[in-house]
Structure 1
Amino acid sequence: MLKWGLRILGVFVLLNVLGAIGAYVMIDRSVFEMFGGRTPVIALQPSDETPERYVLANVRVLEPGSEQFSEPMDVVIENGVIADMGLDLAARANAPAMDGEGRYLMPGLTDSHVHLWNSQNDLALYLAYGVTQIREMHGQSHHLEWRDQISEGELLGPDIFVVAAQIATYDFAEGLWQSLTSKRNVARTPEAADQLVRDLAADGYDAVKASSYLSLSGYEAVSAASEDTGIPLVGHVPVAARLDDLWASNQSEVAHVEELIKGLDRDFGGYGVSNAGEYLDYVMQHRDAVAQHMIDNEIVLASTLALVSSFAQQKTETEAALETAPVGLVNPGVAEGRAMGWLPDVNIYSVPQQYRNDGWRERYETYWTTYAEAQQLMFEAVLAAGVPMVAGTDANVPLMAPGYSLHQELEALVLAGMTPAQALESATATPGRFMDWNTGRVLPGFRANLVLLNANPLEDIRNTRSIAAVVSHGDILSREELDSLVDAVEAANDSARHTPLAPEWRQAETR
């Protein structure tokens, strides 16, 4: 009997182990698809047609730190770097020349807050929209591989600054689920948080990210380990922390303007429909002090204004919001999945049906309109104080399409109070300095990551969309080649859809 009992127990244990393995495989496959991993990958091979040395002739160059373009000049590019600039260089450079026909040459754009997930095709979209650098804010090991392959000229795409997936605190069961489904870095104790930072630094990540769900003791441990190892700490202000904890930390960047107003909301005690006006008054009273703390602690601020401005409509009128979004550009695994869903049945911001009871629309519109107004008040203060800001979109979060959304963000920044020159600075020189890259300026010695425009963006920020060509690592991508990249991505997306897109969701102009 004992023998049979042991056999039965062994079979029971084996079945449970096999069941657990099967469940893990099923979850992992589902997550891989929800983050875009099942969509066919287009050809992403860098071109070898651009000569190693050539001249961009007759181009107006965005002058560093100014609000004007130069008179037409020539720019010599050699081995992916700007080698020389000046008048009449084409005639004596002993190199082939491309006539820019008086167009506007500026640094390639940087989106400082993106999520590639498993969607490698997004790399093509960034270049197609003039984004030659991105900062990945939920980095995983395959992003490190893409970063290195791009750097080595083996893969077509923007340069990538890889911030490791956010560090969060959960109990054992929730932590296991989050690490499986959202790929977060889970640290249950301060000691684990400290070791995690050291491991991520050793793995080659460019920065570590604080989660909203990081405990206060974990946040303090991450901050100390960041300072000790030299790896930058960026991201959210944890819900368990106050703004005073941010000022005392080693955090060098805050990932959204909204993080500051959420911090003020915690200090205020929480706002709702009944006290929304009082909360806005509170923001008005404290915003200048917050901005000064940002200056004093040398903290850079990422924007994501366009995303937050979309919340109210996404919450209450998801289908109408989708009509102005370029849904066709977005990986269908992302758009249709429940992790970061865009479509009406899965949209992560849409108010669930069970909460749509009496007066629900007014409540949600009031709350989220107040949220956007508070963001605007804070933005005005940090702009006036001179807080360094980098343009970021939270790309792949609905309704921010990779590449395309940075132009929406630049327009949102100007609408909020920046000059076009300031908006361009936030997407060129400032992120170049923050990430310690030689990008963001059109000057000798800087990387030849450039955008050639048909119209002057200083006169109208919407002219950043008028892309004639993109230069990435010195390689020229013509307008025809950029359109081909977008066409290929849209075709790959269409081939992988489970849910056909409604015609009205294809109205956004993507060229």
Structure 2
Amino acid sequence: MTTRISRRSIIVAGVAAGAAGVLARPAVAVADRARTGGTALTHATVIDPHSGKVLPDLTVVIDGDRITDVRRGPAPGGARVVDLRGKFVIPGLADMHAHAQAEGIDPALNIANGVTTVRDMAGSPLARDWRARIDAGTLLGPRYTLGSKIIDGAPSIWDPAFLDVIQVADPEQARQAVRQQRDAGADFIKVYSRVSRPAYRAIAAEAHRLGIPFAGHCPDEVPMEEIADLGQASVEHMFWAPFDTSSKEARIRAEIARIRLELGDYSGWFKAIHPLEWTAANSYNKVKARQLYGKLARRRTRQVPTLVMHRGLDNAHTLVIGNDPRDKYLPPSAIGSMQFALSDFYLKDRAPGTYAEWAAMFDHRLRTVHEMHQHGVPIMTGTDTGTVAVYPGFSVHDELALLVEAGLSPMAALQAATAEPARYLGTNTGRIAAGHAADLVILDANPLHDITNTTAVSGVVARGRYIGPDERLAILAEVERVAAQTPEGVAVAAGCPCHTPRRRVPA
């Protein structure tokens, strides 16, 4: 039996009216970033993933929101000096697959964790509001890149009565959706799982004609090699690579073509796709894998694995909601939504006899990420905030650790969170050099010795503003207060429009 998403379990993105008084204000007010003489971070060990260099005892000079110099020697006269003796400086981190959840929560948690760049994959009104306020200097938060509304096939596995999804049944509707979302201000077009092959090709053609990138899921009907040839900028999640790398691909694709799902039946998608994933993983072909990964590398098609999401999904039977110390930073409705998704969405139709193969699929995903990296496929960090056991800001560090577990070096993992997102976005973030954005993370320990040292955040520089240890702790304390004061029955945008239902927790 599949779980159809009902009116009771869906809410619109954003904060319900009842929470406005509690969550409308910034977690921490933004101070004037301009300082006479700028700021100088002295005696720092600088780790620059863009160049792969580690340089001890440097001074990083910041003026406004830019790095103006990286050098050995004293701070310039008049600069505010921050002595970082014994500390390590890396570029600000990026979450390249996120979904806005709650006012007073996400932007602050990202900054407190050194996440200074976020790509929101559904361009929600909440994220649009955050970006406007952050750019205006009235809210402390990361730099946002905003996707379009989700463009899915017809019927969508999301019900448009409850989630603002665009259904396209044919190429003309697909082209119209691209035009509409470009005109609405989207930075890129988000494609989804059930878009038909003809509609997908129309999305690609129209996006190229209008000069707007398109990214997202690999539609079930479309091979990954084809989306690379058509210019999709990034692929989210690790559901589809097994199909292209299977010796039984033709049979699997024939099964995919026979899948029929009702409107809003996402758990039905899991039920249909997982056995095919399992077949594909057990018929893995190295020659086909080399061909696919080579093409992704040549086309610069980025892979955003969202391993932290897959870890929760593939090992859902081991999760206990409410035991994570980071729960205190989320409103009760978000924790309730996680519990609902775990019991009524992830596990409802999952037979206990399949638990071992689900867990084995996660191991296969780790191996796939490693092989992709070995073949030169560009990897970027993304978390899929809003899914079970995924937390804004914090889970970027989880993703870094999982990339290293998959076989990437700590430096390569840092590149996936800094330099590669900057190249993808075409921004001057992601490195520590003169002329680049002053988005930095200050660590108490060397992440190249142990990638989990990225969690040892001492301070953050966001758009040139230095946030020291005390202010960082104050940000976290304020988020905890806001989360605790959110009424139990208030619905927030807790849930990811990728594959987690949103839910109003009963009062």
TM-score (norm 1): 0.82
**Contact map agreement 1:54 1:77 (CA 8 A) in 2:** yes
- CA offset at residue 322 of structure 1? 5.1
The residue that corresponds to 2:69 in the other structure is 84
**Contact map agreement 2:49 2:418 (CA 8 A) in 1:** no
The residue that corresponds to 1:509 in the other structure is none
Residues 376-455 of structure 1 mapped to structure 2, 5 A cutoff: 376-455=366-445
Worse overlay, 490-499 or 109-118? 490-499
The residue that corresponds to 1:255 in the other structure is 236
SS of the residue 1:448 aligns to: coil
Deviation sequence 1:1-60 (CA, Å, 0-9, x none): xxxxxxxxxxxxxxxxxxxxxxxxx96996148877754325342122762512112211
* Alignment CA distance shift 1:323-1:312 (3 Å): farther
Give the whole-Å Cα distance in 2 for the aligned partners of 1:458 and 1:342.
33
Q: For 2:482, which of 478, 489, 492 is the aligned residue?
A: 492
SS of the residue 2:232 aligns to: coil
Residues 77-476 of structure 1 mapped to structure 2, 5 A cutoff: 77-90=62-75, 92-171=76-155, 178-261=159-242, 264=245, 267=250, 269=252, 276=278, 279-314=281-316, 316-319=317-320, 323-324=323-324, 326-336=326-336, 341-343=337-339, 347=343, 349-352=345-348, 355=349, 360-363=351-354, 365-476=355-466
Deviation sequence 1:118-145 (CA, Å, 0-9, x none): 5452100000111011110111244233
Deviation sequence 1:178-217 (CA, Å, 0-9, x none): 3331222233332122122122222221111110021222
* Alignment CA distance shift 1:198-1:345 (3 Å): closer
**Contact map agreement 1:58 1:73 (CA 8 A) in 2:** yes
Give the whole-Å Cα distance in 2 for the aligned partners of 1:442 and 1:374.
35
Deviation sequence 1:285-337 (CA, Å, 0-9, x none): 532221112023221111211221222331x2442x6534732223333332x
* Alignment CA distance shift 1:484-1:388 (3 Å): same
SS of the residue 2:442 aligns to: strand
- CA offset at residue 102 of structure 1? 3.4
* Alignment CA distance shift 1:63-1:297 (3 Å): closer
Q: In structure 2, what residue type is equivalent to 1:426?
A: A
* Alignment CA distance shift 1:459-1:399 (3 Å): same
Give the whole-Å Cα distance in 2 for the aligned partners of 1:178 and 1:277.
29
* Alignment CA distance shift 1:35-1:170 (3 Å): farther
TM-score (norm 2): 0.83
SS of the residue 2:160 aligns to: helix
* Alignment CA distance shift 1:38-1:106 (3 Å): farther
* Alignment CA distance shift 1:165-1:325 (3 Å): farther
SS of the residue 2:120 aligns to: strand
Deviation sequence 1:155-174 (CA, Å, 0-9, x none): 21000011112201224xx6
SS of the residue 1:167 aligns to: strand
The residue that corresponds to 1:57 in the other structure is 42
- CA offset at residue 260 of structure 1? 1.8
SS of the residue 1:138 aligns to: coil
**Contact map agreement 2:245 2:286 (CA 8 A) in 1:** no
**Contact map agreement 2:34 2:64 (CA 8 A) in 1:** no
Give the whole-Å Cα distance in 2 for the aligned partners of 1:106 and 1:345.
35
Give the whole-Å Cα distance in 2 for the aligned partners of 1:49 and 1:209.
34
**Contact map agreement 1:201 1:231 (CA 8 A) in 2:** yes
Percent identity of equivalent pairs: 25
* Alignment CA distance shift 1:275-1:426 (3 Å): closer
SS of the residue 1:93 aligns to: coil
Q: In structure 2, what residue type is equivalent to 1:131?
A: V
- CA offset at residue 490 of structure 1? 1.9
* Alignment CA distance shift 1:249-1:348 (3 Å): farther
Higher relative contact order (CA 8 A, sep 6+): 2
- CA offset at residue 243 of structure 1? 2.9
- CA offset at residue 257 of structure 1? 3.1
The number of residue pairs the alignment matches comes to: 459
Give the whole-Å Cα distance in 2 for the aligned partners of 1:215 and 1:388.
26
**Contact map agreement 2:104 2:479 (CA 8 A) in 1:** no
Give the whole-Å Cα distance in 1 for the aligned partners of 2:445 and 2:400.
16
Deviation sequence 1:347-368 (CA, Å, 0-9, x none): 464312xx47xxx3122x1331
SS of the residue 1:326 aligns to: helix
> Once superposed, what is the RMSD of the aligned Cα atoms?
2.9
**Contact map agreement 1:110 1:427 (CA 8 A) in 2:** yes
* Alignment CA distance shift 1:332-1:491 (3 Å): same
Structure 2: tracts of 5 or more residues without a match: 1-5, 256-272, 491-507
